[in-house]
Amino acid sequence: ESYDMGGHDTYMHKEIHEQADAVDRALRGRIDDRFSTVHLGGLNLDARDARAVRRVKILGCGTSYHAGQIGAQMIEELARIPADAEPASEFRYRNPVVDPDTLYIAVSQSGETYDVLAAVQELKRKGARVLGLVNVVGSAIARETDGGIYVHAGPEVCVVSTKCFTNMVVSFGLLALHLGRTRDLSVADGKRIIEGLRKLPGQIEEILANEAQIEELAKEYAEAKSMMFIGRVRGYPVAREASLKLKEVSYIHAEAYPASELKHGPLALIEPAMPTVAIVPDDELLEKNRAALEEIKARSGRILAVAHQVQEKADHTIVVPKNEDELDAILMGIPLQLFAYYTAKAMGRDIDKPRNLAKSVTVE
């Protein structure tokens, strides 16, 4: 992509609209239909190394950390390797136990975030194997890691990350598939995931074609002082990322909680002035998620659902196309990027350069 605005009013809007092409680029040349797997050239991890991995630990900050949370779930689901994500900024300060059988993955758009780089250096010093999942080619984190995956999102100018988040999550999908196929993921499941990945660019176009509805909803919800974002398992990191997007660009206070935790405290906040954005995928947790919507409705809370079908209990639903259960999280956050953008626009915010923030945090 060039730095040309191409008719968009902000880089954020432009970059949201570049996502179908960006995902296409992340997939290009990597899919191996013959063996229902993917080739990730720079990984430096042969099948024997991949099979020896006992745990995966993903480190990143902000949006990249959220992408890592989704990535960890994909790796657990598809490769059945225990995996989790942690903010790199926390990890490096807690004298972590570094285990030789754990595969560490540093996630970063810029490849220059100081906290992530410092975590990588500490891990290397302790003899760990560290991979990078990075956007900027040749960046410090890409150079310091033992191998990795470039996410190929193209240049991202807006301080608020959108297309890079999506490409990170897609890249984690590729990695999870690759690891899974060196283990117990069947040919049939590999094929199913590949078909799901191939559908993504077209489905992203479908979501973006619904922009007018999202613009209207954003205008309506822009009056809120505070918003709750909820999701369960696959939907929870989506809720966290969507709440961060809204905070960063509109300055509206937002909280993200697992839907399952509502009754343990945050339900006390629910009232008409505190709308909830709920991530409601059509997966095995659909009924549980519907029950959470009922609890909110019973407290007169307004609900905006992002779902695969219209949710009766919600005041509004943004319907997104269904993919494979394991890949749904890639798509469900995209309408909420537009929601954050239009909310900020309605409030007259400086969308590409929100106050107090820098694109890349290269200091401690």
Q: Order across the sheet with 83-87: list the strands.
A: 83-87, 55-60, 102-108, 129-134, 147-150
Burial tier of 90 (Cβ tally within 10 Å: 0-12, 13-18, 19+): middle
Residue span 262-301 as binding mask against ligand AGP, x where in contact by CB under 6 A, dash where not: ----------------------------------------
Q: How far is the CB of 312 from ligand AGP (least distance, A)?
A: 33
Q: Which of 161, 290, 160, 303 is nearest to 220 (CA)?
A: 303
With beta carbons less than 8 A apart as the criterion, state whether 119 and 92 touch.
yes
User: Between the CA of residue 286 and those of 2, 74, 313, what are the distances in Å?
Assistant: 41, 19, 13
133 vs 306 by CB, closer to ligand AGP: 133
Q: How far is the CB of 89 from ligand AGP (least distance, A)?
A: 10
113 vs 203 by CB, closer to ligand AGP: 113
148 vs 301 by CB, closer to ligand AGP: 148
Residue nearest to ligand AGP (CB): 62
Q: In whole angstroms, give the CA distance from residue 307 to residue 240.
A: 16
131 vs 160 by CB, closer to ligand AGP: 160
Q: Out of 10, 18, 56, 62, which residue is the one contacting ligand AGP (CB under 6 A)? A: 62
110 vs 276 by CB, closer to ligand AGP: 110
Of residues 187 through 246, those in contact with ligand AGP by CB under 6 A are none
Q: How far is the CB of 236 from ligand AGP (least distance, A)?
A: 17
Phi/psi at 276 (5° precision): -120, 135
Determine the interface stretch with ligand AGP among 61-69, 75-83, 284-292, 326-334 (rule: CB under 6 A): 61-69
Determine the interface stretch with ligand AGP among 184-192, 193-201, 205-213, 353-361 (rule: CB under 6 A): 353-361
With beta carbons less than 8 A apart as the criterion, state whether 49 and 22 touch.
no
Q: Out of 248, 324, 326, 328, which residue is the one contacting ligand AGP (CB under 6 A)? A: 248
Tokens of 99: 């285990």
Q: Which of 115, 305, 112 is nearest to 221 (CA)?
A: 305
DSSP string, 343-360: HHHHTT--SSS-TT--SS
H or E element that contains 188: helix 187-208
Residue 281 CB contacts under 8 Å (≥ 6 apart), including other chains: 234, 235, 289, 307, 308, 322, 325, 328, 329, 332
210 vs 360 by CB, closer to ligand AGP: 360
Residue 112 CB contacts under 8 Å (≥ 6 apart), including other chains: 136, 139, 140, 141, 360, 362
Of residues 103 through 162, those in contact with ligand AGP by CB under 6 A are 108-110, 113, 116, 159-161
Q: How far is the CB of 159 from ligand AGP (least distance, A)?
A: 5
Determine the interface stretch with ligand AGP among 17-25, 58-66, 94-102, 323-331 (rule: CB under 6 A): 58-66
Burial code of 178-209, b = ≥16 C-beta within 10 A, e = fewer?
Answer: bbbbbeebeeebbebbbebbebbbebbeebbe
26 vs 160 by CB, closer to ligand AGP: 160
Say whether 247 is catalytic. Answer: no
Q: How far is the CB of 358 from ligand AGP (least distance, A)?
A: 8
Task: Decide if residue 69 touches ligand AGP (CB under 6 A).
Answer: no
Task: Decide if residue 61 touches ligand AGP (CB under 6 A).
Answer: yes
Q: What is the set of active-site residues? A: 359
Residues at the interface with ligand AGP (CB under 6 A): 61-64, 108-110, 113, 116, 159-161, 248, 357, 360-361
